Homo-oligomer: A and B are copies of this chain.
Amino acid sequence: MARTRATILDIARELGLSKTTVSSALGGSGRISEEKRALIRETADRLGYVANRAARSLRVSRVGTIGLYIPPIARSLAFYMDFAFGVTEGAAAADYDVTLFARGLTPQRAFHVDGVIAIDPSPGEPLVAALLDDGIPTVSVGRYTGPGEERVLGTLEAHHTELQIQVLDHLLSRGRKRPALLAVDDAISSSWAVDTLNTYLDWCRRHGIEPRVHEVEGNATPRDLVSAVASAVDTGHADALVCGAQGHAAQSQLVLESRGLTVGKDLDIASFAGAAALETGNPLISAIDLAPREYGAAATELLDAVVRDPDAGPVHRWFDGASVQLAG
């Protein structure tokens, strides 16, 4: 119940040393004999010492915290959640804390971080614009276009296009010549949604395949999805469904199997937005695994780099951890 933690001075007193000695012993710097260093370390964790972060921050004017901005999109939350965990893990490794930024957060609070990671920021997002305007070191995961975009210090991107083409090629190699795209009708179209549609259309053109695009609302009801799948299969004679929204692939499988169709035999299903529990790892669905945890960790690493050297100019990195999982 001891509500006051041991300080560096307690350790010093205990050993008859000075706070300077203790500090440098614990910090690794300075010239200290090895025996003393070991002794200090030992008593430090005997007393349950843990450095006061506020004091350190005040002194070194580095907060040790990164902000994480997550867009308030109802779908694909699972991806963001995993991403957030990845950020947290990467941050712990680099001795950062992660604080959550929700939309509507007053930019005031943003000053208490060393930098922020914004995942899929939509162009109109005022918080991100405010952060950039205030000169907070910011890393964008996925391209950010919008006010202040020239001040984004780092951008991390995955090879979406290449991976999507791999998936489409794989369907083709399995003889599926009429893949339909169940695209998301994205009001605040992120760069990802736009790119995805273009990739599909391009691919169709290059292969002389007639594109079949079926738009699905962002928060479609099950009934909506049933009819979308029905129109793709029955009317459009699709022999493969390519889903743009997380969860839709698994849901489409439900629809097809309930109708007596066997996925992998009668039809194929693929997902461009994998990483859902029911999609990635499902042997019947070809999916892109964005590896959200590793993605998040990579974002942290990038942020750390630009925080350490803010004048390096905008840096762009590719994330190589994403992969495709091909079915059949």
Any B CB within 8 A of the CB of A74: yes
Q: Check if B53 sits within 8 Å of A223, measured CB to CB.
A: no
Q: With a CB–CB cut-off of 8 A, which chain B residues contact A72?
A: 85
With contact pairs A50-B111, A81-B80, A251-B251 given, residues A106 and B135 touching in the complex (Cβ less than 8 Å): no
Q: Check if A77 sits within 8 Å of B88, measured CB to CB.
A: no
Q: With a CB–CB cut-off of 8 A, which chain B residues contact A97?
A: 65, 99, 109, 112
Q: Check if A89 sits within 8 Å of B102, measured CB to CB.
A: yes
Assembly CA distance A168 to B259 (angstroms): 29
Assembly CA distance A254 to B5 (angstroms): 56
Q: Check if A226 sits within 8 Å of B257, measured CB to CB.
A: yes
Q: Check if A99 sits within 8 Å of B99, measured CB to CB.
A: yes
Chain A 219-260: CB-based contact to B (< 8 A → 1; otherwise 0): 111110110000000000000000000000011011111110
Which of A54-62, A181-189, A316-324 interfaces with chain B?
A: A54-62
Assembly CA distance A310 to B63 (angstroms): 27
Q: Check if B135 sits within 8 Å of A282, measured CB to CB.
A: no
Q: Check if A92 sits within 8 Å of B109, measured CB to CB.
A: yes
Q: With a CB–CB cut-off of 8 A, which chain B residues contact A89?
A: 102, 104
With contact pairs A81-B80, A100-B84, A226-B257 given, residues A75 and B277 touching in the complex (Cβ less than 8 Å): yes
Q: CB within 8 A of A58: which of B58, B256, B257?
A: B58
List which A64-83 residues lie within 8 A (CB) of chain B. Answer: 65, 68, 70, 72, 74-75, 77-78, 80-82
Number of copies of chain A assembled together: 2
With contact pairs A98-B99, A226-B257 given, residues A277 and B74 touching in the complex (Cβ less than 8 Å): yes
Q: With a CB–CB cut-off of 8 A, which chain B residues contact A77?
A: 77-78, 81-82
Assembly CA distance A5 to B89 (angstroms): 30
Subset of 21 A-B contacts with CB under 8 Å: A2-B135, A52-B58, A53-B111, A54-B54, A54-B57, A65-B97, A65-B99, A68-B100, A70-B81, A77-B81, A84-B100, A85-B100, A88-B102, A97-B99, A98-B99, A99-B100, A222-B253, A222-B254, A223-B253, A251-B251, A258-B258
Assembly CA distance A175 to B251 (angstroms): 29
With contact pairs A58-B55, A102-B89 given, residues A254 and B277 touching in the complex (Cβ less than 8 Å): no
Any B CB within 8 A of the CB of A278: yes
**Chain B residue with Cβ nearest A104:** B89
Chain A 89-125: CB-based contact to B (< 8 A → 1; otherwise 0): 1001000011111101110110110000000000000
Assembly CA distance A278 to B88 (angstroms): 29
Q: Check if A222 sits within 8 Å of B278, measured CB to CB.
A: yes
Q: With a CB–CB cut-off of 8 A, which chain B residues contact A88?
A: 100-102, 105
Assembly CA distance A98 to B84 (angstroms): 13
Minimum Cβ distance to chain B for residue A17 (Å): 23
List which A271-298 residues lie within 8 A (CB) of chain B. Answer: 277-278, 282, 284
Name the 7 nearest CB pairs between A and B, nearest first. Answer: A258-B258, A54-B57, A222-B253, A54-B58, A88-B102, A74-B277, A77-B81
Q: CB within 8 A of A226: which of B3, B82, B258?
A: B258
**Apart from A221-B284, A225-B254, A255-B255: 11 A-B pairs, beta carbons within 8 A:** A3-B310, A54-B63, A75-B277, A77-B81, A85-B102, A88-B100, A88-B105, A89-B104, A222-B250, A223-B257, A258-B259
